[in-house]
């Protein structure tokens, strides 16, 4: 059953909303220009999507029933290939949020990907709101900001 679930979730495309799109454009360089030196922290679109989702999960920021009109150019497999640890972490966080009584309810790959995307949307919105706070307009413009966000995070 585990293998079937992994195969199923990995072949599905990731969907996301406008907040994730804005954050992606702010912090991720275009995937085709990996050799270009710029000030963008992320070099792959899946990385900024996963980061937004993690921010959403950590801060309990979910955009429930969010519009997710954008379909990514990547399947969940790209996250698994890039970092199996991150992919597994996202799946486990989503499983923890599923409302279901049976294993089929809990391991519904589309439902789990929707939950991850709702948290990515909430996390991206949180990031954008943070950047609108006086004194934080340039938050995450510098590499150190990402490390300070982790180091200064309070334990839940």
What CA–CA distance (Å, rounded) separates 47 from 74? 11
pTM: 0.84
DSSP H/E element including 75: strand 70-75
- Mean pLDDT value across the chain: 83
DSSP H/E element including 11: none
Whether 57 shows a pLDDT value over 60: the answer reads yes
Q: Are 114 and 15 in contact (CB under 8 A)?
A: yes
Query: In the prediction, which pLDDT does 31 show?
Result: 56
What is the rounded average pLDDT of the residues 66-88? Answer: 82
The domain ranges of the chain are: 2-32+39-151
Residue-wise pLDDT for 139-156, tens only, equals 888 778 877 776 776 544
């Amino acid at each position: 059953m585990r293998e079937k679930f992994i195969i199923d979730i990995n072949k599905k495309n990731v969907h996301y909303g406008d907040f994730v799109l804005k954050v992606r454009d702010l912090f991720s360089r275009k995937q085709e220009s990996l050799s270009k030196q710029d000030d963008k922290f992320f070099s792959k679109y899946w990385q900024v999507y996963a980061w937004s989702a993690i921010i959403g999960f950590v801060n309990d920021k979910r955009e429930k029933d969010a519009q997710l009109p954008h379909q990514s150019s990547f399947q969940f497999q790209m996250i698994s290939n890039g970092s199996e640890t991150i992919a597994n972490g996202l799946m486990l966080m989503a499983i923890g949020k599923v409302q279901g009584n049976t294993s089929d309810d809990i391991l519904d790959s589309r439902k789990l990907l929707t939950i991850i995307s709702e948290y990515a949307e909430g996390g991206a919105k949180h990031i954008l709101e943070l950047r609108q706070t006086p004194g934080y307009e340039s938050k995450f413009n510098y590499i150190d900001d990402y490390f300070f966000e982790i180091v200064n995070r309070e334990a839940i």
